[in-house]
Structure 1
Amino acid sequence: MTTLAEILSLPRYSDLKLLTNQESVDTQKTIQSVEISETPDIEHYIPNDVLLLTTAMSYVDDQKGLISLIDSLIRAKAVGLGIKTGRFIGKIEPEIIAYAEKVNFPLFDIPNTYSLGSLLHQLLNKIWGTRYEEISFALDIQKKFFSLLVQNANNQVVINKLSEIVKTPIILLNPFKEIMDYSKQFNQSRNPAQHYVNQIVQTMQEMPKENDSFIINGPKGHEVQISIIPIRVHTYFPHYLVIVNPEQIPYPISSFAIDQAAMVLSFVLFKNEKVSESRQSIATEYFKELIDYHSGSNPSVRSFELNMKHGYLLSDYYQVVHVFDETALEETMPSLHQEERLVLSSQWLQKHVPDYFANALVLFFGVSKESVILIQRETAELDEKLLEIRNQLSESLDIQLVFSIGNPYTDWKRINQSYTEARLMFDERKNKLQTQPIIHYKDKGMVQLFHHLEKNDVRFFCENILKDFAYPKEPALAELRKTLAVYLGAQCEIASAASALFVHRNTVKYRILRCEEILGHAVNSPSHSLNLRLALALSDENH
């Protein structure tokens, strides 16, 4: 990591004279390359961070043209300009030096005693020698971190070790931009890591994605530079290594050295994730046994108690919630991007579901990438809590969860029934592409007997029984159908139906009379009411 300020300070280059003031030299900007050119349009042919050497022969008769050259070098993000005097130009005019100072661009004089070719080689040797030192140091860091990997070091050890090497605080974030670990500099309450993370998350949402360095405000209001390095454990959803005050990292630590540490950290994170998945799979495998349970197998309570170490509880309440990602509903085979969303959803649920449901278990099916929440304590406001979970994850990673819910049961031997109900609702959700956040299982009773009949036969039955009410398109007929369904559901009680519909008793009476006129018979007669109920349910299914 060689800078122009460093070169000009070396005794061997003491005869290179800086023409602009010292403030024009950026002490942090490193030289990546050195070029010799006499071409005025050089900006189109040089890389960033280049130091340009020239005799300025093209500007012998008009040094004002050097102003345009300086502007073009600024656009090309050059480090500085060295002009050899005495060959074509005897002396740089004050006007040119004043302009270079005005735009804060380093300009230095190269004595005629120098050969530009010789100076070029000397400077490149200096830069290459520095890079060799940086690469050697980076490889040493890589060895140290691979040693930590072999020693089974956890994230905290790796983060603290990296922080010691780079001499600056470090924070590790998961893909949800939540803190996983941070270096010991943040252990003091007056310097909380969460303060930095809150500002980092807000800034990352507002800035262009290609930006990896920016300024935030520290706890005391002072400006702090932040550098973000993605850690690729997942292809589309990286973890993040946050380096605070990266400008203070000492030489010879380079970005290459930090990249090596980040690569090893990705292995550590990947390994830890797989270990966690392995532990969770034990609980999931036992859940699969519960799903497959039937009365003939007769597992004992004792066998269930043995699995309490995996989070299962003996309780009087069990309910299964099937969880999936809305964007993957249409796909038979989820893409890699969708698979990662489902995996991360499960990881997020593992961490946050206990905040909403005490003693709940989150189980993940590795092949289908589906998640299940097993609720083991009766809970109030189930739907409200699931919606909060959906909203919180959506804010963190823009994943929209959908929940398919089975009925609750008091016996652990009926967990499989709750799961079957939740899975049936999920299958129906997929078939009909229902994206509403929450769907509860409802026992369809006799309606299920008609599922294997031809749709046309079912439609004929519904139209024959319900007449104009079977598949109404007119609002008035739809309103009458709704009143008929509520009236039958209220066991033909006028008062109960009126209360459910929020209308007057006389309104219900009038509507039922209209229904009977259209149907041609009384709706409360035992010989007709069963067919009416069944036809209403079937036409809802096939509408």
Structure 2
Amino acid sequence: MLPDKLTDRSYPTADPGPPALRLASTGTLTYGLSVGEVLGVSTLTGARLIGGRSGLDRIVQRLNVMEVPDILAWVKPHELLLTTGYPLRNTPQALDDLVADLDARGLAALAVKLGRYLDGLPQRMIEQADRLGFPLILLPSDVGFDDILNQVLTDILNRQAAVLARTEEVHRALVQIVLSGGGLQEVVDEVAALLEVAVVAMDGERRMLAGSGPDEQLRAMLSWDGPAGTVQAGDHLMVPVLAGGFDHGRIVAHSPGGGLRETDVVGILERAATVVALLITKQQAVAAVESKYRADFLRDVLVGRAGDDDRVIAHCAGFGWDLDRPMAVLVAELDGRIGGEPDGRGRGGRGGEPGGEAPARSRGTDERMVQERLAGAWTTVVRRHDRHGAVASFAHEVVAIVGAPGAPGAAGGSGAQPAPDLSVLVKEAAAVFAEPHGPRRTFSTGISRTVTSPAELPEAYEQAVKAVRVGRQMHGDGARAHFDQLGVYRLLSLVSDPAELHVFVRETLGELADDDEPEAMDLRRTLQVLLETNLNVAETARRLHFHYNTLRYRIGKLERMLGPFTEDAHLRLNLTLALHVLRMRGI
């Protein structure tokens, strides 16, 4: 039995578990005292720290008494473990590794009373405590465990009550700021004043949303990369801003002199993070509505139903867009969409709508997030190069209207930006869009001709759509194509009825139009190379790695199937066009 009287205890108890274990707290407390503060209570006036001095800032949230040798199964993090050594009196060698085992389980400290069952502690035990920063305390022989339990638990509960009262008061003050119409800056200013430290709220990309404090401290917080919810070097504390299951950023406090380990600082920052999350969510909701309104109007512009030029120019000026200048339309589409192929939207005429009439399909949350990231990348790059350019995200694409190369960046004004280099825009958007981790996604871009009025934008939009889709067919994923550089593909893409093109292919190529027959595809490849080399048999044989006589045999077979194309120039032209149409399949 324990030599210290533990009857008539006034400290709260939880489920005691097995008889040998007596918990001295009601469970996990949100706040506690540091080991250094515990040593300052009156009942421990004669206590002596003999090891682990660097761990005096460990937090004590509960107390426990060691009565059995297998105590490790019952200890919990942040406990101050009290013992007389009675359970280990016959196995002193177990003391050598006890400190390491307790430290691994997150205990705050070990307090031992010597003289009755243990005469001293092994030197190895003290050395381990110093190495691990695990406080090892010698208790006075005349102090009872019940006195320690009562006083320390009372102090912990008092500290908890005081901290909760202060954080609740702070929370009410911050909520009042929001209800009074205040924003992020007012909230950050209030927190900085309450804590007397510098505070910054930042988004997920470490961009400052609001800050209060000296500039050098704000810069230090923006560049600090410590994990959320931890303190580094005693001068930074970062708390995540979470809402609706999403991480919206961080709120960081900075004090060059340290002191941020105080639990009330953590509580206030956590309450501030909740209010900041509320404000950010509100801003995002407003931004989403505004973005949809802008996108809807731009959609009307691109299909020609937004009104006359003067009305469109005036309305877009309210969004910060300048459409009264030479412009080009860029369309960016994600490659590798769900379903394996670009979506067939059938935009043959000018009546097609941006992002409209797509086949019903489940895009999934991940696909929507990638689409949003693509829109964000284009918005960032266009703002950087053309502050009066327009960007909108539709269901399946991102559309940008920017100043045409060589044209002034804005109508009038001496500070107008020059029109951006469109190829530079595309490259920078790809760089911003690139995901450093996870699967790599690409997008293809189509660029229209230059137009000079809003009335011409619907045609320019259709050109960009044709360019992005033809470019992907010609060059693969990640293609960048200008409508004027499509050559014969541009003429073919202007045919409004795709069915007519398919009929032409079938009538011209016959059996060779079938993709299900390997032999037909092989002969079609031979025909294509022959036409590309202007019927140079030797060069064709070299490219296809055929014997000269084998190629002669194949040419004869192709002429029996298609007609005398080696002698008929018009037939060769038809065959060439049919092969081009096949390369544009899906348009």
Tell me if both proteins adopt one fold, taking TM over 0.5 as the criterion. yes
Structure-1 residue corresponding to 2:365:
336
Match of 1:68 among 97, 111, 131: 97
Residues 1:232 and 2:225 aligned together:
no
Q: Rate the CA distance shift 1:416–1:524 in 2: closer, same or farther, 3 A.
A: farther
CA distance in 1, matches of 2:289, 2:279: 15
Match of 1:3 in 2: 34
Using the TM superposition, give the Cα deviation of residue 107 of structure 1 relative to its aligned residue in structure 2, in angstroms: 2.4
* Equivalent in the alignment of 1:499: none
Question: Structure 1 residue 317 and structure 2 residue 326: aligned?
Answer: yes
Alignment of 1:369-448 (within 5 A): 370-378=397-405, 379=419, 381-394=421-434, 400=441, 402-408=443-449, 409-423=451-465, 435-440=477-482, 442=486, 443-445=490-492, 448=495
Partner in structure 2 of residue 451 of structure 1? 498
SS at match of 2:90: coil
**Residue in 2 that maps onto 1:531:** 574
Whether the aligned pair in 1 keeps the contact of 2:114 and 2:138 (CA below 8 Å) is: yes
TM-score (norm 2): 0.70
- For structure 2, the residue ranges without an aligned partner over 5 or more in a row are 1-31, 341-360, 406-418, 537-551
Contact 1:462–1:538 (CA<8 Å) still a contact in 2? no
Q: Residue 281 of structure 1 aligns with which residue? A: 292
- Name the aligned partner's letter for residue 537 of structure 1: H
- CA distance change for structure 1 residues 478 and 175 in 2, over 3 Å: closer, same or farther? farther
Alignment of 1:123-272 (within 5 A): 123-185=152-214, 187-188=215-216, 193=219, 197-198=222-223, 200=225, 213=230, 226-233=236-243, 235=245, 238-244=248-254, 248-249=259-260, 251-272=262-283
CA distance in 2, matches of 1:307, 1:108: 73
Q: Residue in 1 aligned with 2:26?
A: none
Q: How far 1:427 moved relative to its partner?
A: 7.4
**Number of residue pairs matched by the alignment:** 492
Conserved 8 A contact 1:20-1:97: no
- Decide which structure has greater helix share: 1
Quick check: 1:316–1:410 contact (8 Å CA) kept in 2?
yes
The answer for the alignment partner of 2:508 in structure 1 is 461
Distance 2:475 2:274 in 1: 41
5+ residue gaps, structure 1, are 205-209, 216-222, 488-510
Letter in 2 for 1:9: G
Distance 2:309 2:453 in 1: 12
For 1:369 and 1:226, how far apart are their aligned partners in 2? 43
Structure 1's 369 and 172: CA in aligned 2 closer, same or farther, altered over 3 A?
A: farther
Distance of 1:97 and 1:471 partners within structure 2: 79
Q: Any conservation in 2 of the 1:141–1:257 contact (CA below 8 Å)?
A: yes
- When structure 1 is superposed on structure 2, of 73-82 and 303-312 the one drifting more is 303-312
Distance 1:140 1:394, change over 3 A: farther
Cα distance in structure 1, aligned partners of 2:437 and 2:240: 15
When residues 345 and 538 of structure 1 are mapped into structure 2, their CA distance, relative to the original with a 3 A threshold, is: closer
Q: Aligned Cα RMSD in Å?
A: 4.3
Q: Deviations over 1:97-142 (max 9, x none)?
A: 7446544432223345444244323322221221222222222222
Which amino acid is 1:435 matched to?
D
CA contact (8 A) 2:382 2:389 kept: yes
Q: 1: distance between equivalents of 2:528 and 2:576? A: 16
- Tell me, yes or no, if the aligned pair for 1:37 and 1:54 is still in contact at 8 Å: yes
**For residue 344 of structure 2, what is the aligned residue in structure 1?**
none
Q: SS state of the match for residue 82, structure 1? A: strand
Q: What residue is the counterpart of 1:508 in the other structure?
A: none
Query: d(CA) in 1 for partners of 2:459 and 2:314?
Result: 20
* C-alpha distance in structure 1 between counterparts of 2:521 and 2:494, whole Å: 17
Which among 106, 109, 117 is matched to residue 89 of structure 1?
117
Per-residue Cα deviation, 1:423-454 (whole angstroms, up to 9, x for no partner): 56667899999632535555343773662269
Q: 1:18 aligns with which of 48, 51, 59?
A: 48
Partner Cα separation in structure 1 for residue 533 and residue 527 of structure 2 = 10
2:231–2:261: 8 Å Cα contact kept in structure 1? Answer: no
**Secondary structure of the residue that 1:28 maps to in structure 2?**
coil
CA distance in 1, matches of 2:270, 2:120: 43
User: Who is 2:18 aligned against?
Assistant: none
Q: Is the 8 A contact 2:188 2:201 kept in 1?
A: yes
After superposition, give the CA deviation of every residue in 1:211-240 in whole Å (9 maximum; x if it has no partner).
75475xxxxxxx786444332257455323
- Measured in 1, the distance between the counterparts of 2:437 and 2:204 equals 8
Residue by residue over 1:492-542, the C-alpha shift from the partner in whole angstroms, topping out at 9 and shown as x without a partner, is: xxxxxxxxxxxxxxxxxxx9xx99996765779674355234313223234
Cα deviation code 1:240-280 (max 9, x no counterpart): 33344595226451433322211110111111222233333
Separation in structure 2 between the aligned mates of residue 127 and residue 384 of structure 1, nearest angstrom = 61
Pair 1:290–1:475, CA change in 2 (3 A):
closer
Deviation, structure 1 residue 52: 0.4
Q: How much does 1:2 deviate?
A: 0.7
Match of 1:220 in 2: none
C-alpha separation in 1, matches of 2:522 and 2:326: 41
Correspondence for 2:314? 305
State the AA in 1 paired with 2:137: F
- Give the deviation of 1:50 after TM superposition: 1.2
Work out the CA distance in 2 between the residues paired with 1:143 and 1:313. 45
Number of the residue aligned with 1:291: 302
Asked if 2 retains the 8 angstrom alpha-carbon contact of 1:406 and 1:440, the reply is: yes
Percent identity for Structure 1 against Structure 2: 14
